[in-house]
Structure 1
Amino acid sequence: MDLGIRGRVAIVCASTAGLGEATARALAAEGARVVVCGRRGDVAKEIAAQLPEAIGVEIDLVAADGPARLVAATEEAFGPADIVVLNSPGPPPGGSQDIGDADIVAAMESLVLPHQRLVSLVLPGMRERGWGRVLSLASIGVVTPIPSLALSNIGRAALGGYLKTLATEVAGDGVTVNMLLPGRIETARTVQMNTYRAAREGIGVEKFAARAQAAIPARRYGQPDEFGAVAAFLCSEAASYVTGTALRCDGGAVPSL
Structure 2
Amino acid sequence: MDLGLKGKKAIVCASSRGLGRGCAEALAEAGCDIVLNGRNEAVLAETRSAMQDRYGVSVLSVAADVSTEEGQNALLAACPDPDILINNNGGPPRRDYTELDRNALLEGAIQNFVTPIELIKAVAPAMQQRGFGRIVNITSLSVKMPIEGLDLSSGARAGLTAFLAGVCRQLAPSGVTINNLLPGKMDTDRLRGGFERAAQQSGTSLEEIRAQQAAEIPARRFGNAEEFGQACAFLCSRHAGYITGQNLLMDGGLYPAAF
Tell me how far 1:4 sits from its aligned partner: 0.7
More displaced 10-residue stretch of structure 1: 61-70 or 84-93: 61-70
Q: Which residue of 1 aligns with 2:39?
A: 39
3-state SS of the aligned residue for 2:24?
Answer: helix
- 1:8–1:82 CA contact under 8 A, matched in 2: yes
Equivalent residue pairs, number: 253
- 2:39–2:64 CA contact under 8 A, matched in 1: yes
More displaced 10-residue stretch of structure 1: 196-205 or 64-73: 196-205
Q: Aligned runs of 1:130-141 on 2, under 5 Å?
A: 130-141=131-142
**Sequence identity, in percent?**
37
| Distance (whole Å) between structure 1 residues aligned to residue 160 and residue 32 of structure 2 | 26
Tell me how far 1:201 sits from its aligned partner: 4.5
Q: Is 2:143 aligned against 1:142?
A: yes
- 1:213–1:220 CA contact under 8 A, matched in 2: yes
Tell me how far 1:202 sits from its aligned partner: 5.0
CA 1:96–1:200: 2 relative to 1, 3 Å: farther
Q: Which residue of 2 aligns with 1:56?
A: 61
- 1:180–1:249 CA contact under 8 A, matched in 2: yes
Q: CA RMSD in A?
A: 1.4
Q: Which residue of 1 aligns with 2:120?
A: 119
Tell me how far 1:50 sits from its aligned partner: 2.3
Q: Which residue of 2 aligns with 1:28?
A: 28
Per-residue Cα deviation, 1:116-158 (whole angstroms, up to 9, x for no partner): 1111111110011110001011110111121221121112112
Tell me how far 1:64 sits from its aligned partner: 2.1
TM normalised by structure 1 equals 0.94
Matching residue's letter, 1:100: D
CA 1:172–1:201: 2 relative to 1, 3 Å: farther
Tell me how far 1:23 sits from its aligned partner: 0.6
Unaligned runs of 5+ in 1: none
3-state SS of the aligned residue for 1:238?
Answer: helix
- 2:108–2:153 CA contact under 8 A, matched in 1: yes
- 1:45–1:57 CA contact under 8 A, matched in 2: no
Q: Which residue of 2 aligns with 1:246?
A: 247
Matching residue's letter, 2:45: K
3-state SS of the aligned residue for 2:69?
Answer: coil
Q: Which residue of 1 aligns with 2:93?
A: 92
3-state SS of the aligned residue for 2:169?
Answer: helix
Unaligned runs of 5+ in 2: none
Q: Which residue of 2 aligns with 1:7?
A: 7
Per-residue Cα deviation, 1:170-221 (whole angstroms, up to 9, x for no partner): 1111000000011111110111222334445453332222111001000011
Q: Is 2:108 aligned against 1:103?
A: no
Matching residue's letter, 1:46: E
Q: Is 2:171 aligned against 1:192?
A: no
Matching residue's letter, 2:20: G
| Distance (whole Å) between structure 1 residues aligned to residue 71 and residue 60 of structure 2 | 16
| Distance (whole Å) between structure 2 residues aligned to residue 81 and residue 106 of structure 1 | 27
- 2:10–2:84 CA contact under 8 A, matched in 1: yes
Matching residue's letter, 2:76: V
- 2:60–2:78 CA contact under 8 A, matched in 1: no
| Distance (whole Å) between structure 1 residues aligned to residue 159 and residue 194 of structure 2 | 22
Q: Which residue of 1 aligns with 2:161?
A: 160
- 1:68–1:118 CA contact under 8 A, matched in 2: no
Matching residue's letter, 2:92: P
- 2:95–2:150 CA contact under 8 A, matched in 1: yes
Matching residue's letter, 1:149: L
- 1:45–1:55 CA contact under 8 A, matched in 2: no
Q: Which residue of 2 aligns with 1:173?
A: 174
| Distance (whole Å) between structure 2 residues aligned to residue 175 and residue 152 of structure 1 | 26
- 2:11–2:36 CA contact under 8 A, matched in 1: yes
